[in-house]
Structure 1
């Protein structure tokens, strides 16, 4: 099993790559051919709902959205940045690593953080 957090408790490099792949699926604007995230890439309300639906089966409640947008990194327009997305998963993984593994599985990652393989 690949580590989600490093020895310092930060998101591991391999976990961050997985999260970037997930974020790209829902963010606006999309990366260009280089694959680099545009500096203004974010999850707007529709992107946040789509990510939540694919991850949890339904969009977030308004209360949950407000909480995420209040405590995580957002744009001036109130959209979740990639940094904020990482913060969501940092917090979740610190509190319930199994929930993070379930999320990753729903997005096609196995416990080695390989994409497109059946989860164990």
Structure 2
């Protein structure tokens, strides 16, 4: 099984690649090819993108309290939208505390335990 965190406890490169592809499906600006893994440096998740990602991952959008917490403690744009760095911070914390939850999220987005994309939505 591939490791989600590297020896230093940071997000591993293979995991980051998957997260980039997931983020790309929901970010602004909309990308023509989200699976390319090429994110513009100014990409972010606005409220609509955050809700869509949460719904696809958890079956429902985040509560307002959860959204506020994410946007308060994670990296955001000046307008308060979640950046890719902030998205990585969310998964860093989740994986450190509940790695199985991160694996579950990856599975919902079509990745197997080797971090291969087996289902494209």
**TM-score normalised over the length of structure 1:** 0.93
CA RMSD of the aligned region, Å?
1.4
Q: Answer yes or no: is the 8 Å Cα contact 2:27–2:45 preserved in 1.
A: yes
State whether structure 2 residue 113 is matched by structure 1 residue 111: yes
Q: How far apart are residue 35 of structure 1 and its match? A: 5.0
State whether structure 2 residue 82 is matched by structure 1 residue 80: yes
Q: Which residue of 1 aligns with 2:15?
A: 15
Matches within 5 A, 1:31-50: 31=31, 36-50=38-52
SS in 2 for 1:103: helix
Change (3 A) 1:41 1:48: same
Unaligned runs of 5+ in 2: none
Q: Answer yes or no: is the 8 Å Cα contact 1:28–1:41 preserved in 2.
A: yes
The 4+ residue runs of structure 1 with deviation greater than 2 A are 30-36
**TM-score normalised over the length of structure 2:** 0.92
Unaligned runs of 5+ in 1: none
Q: How far apart are residue 37 of structure 1 and its match? A: 1.1
Q: Which residue of 1 aligns with 2:30?
A: 30
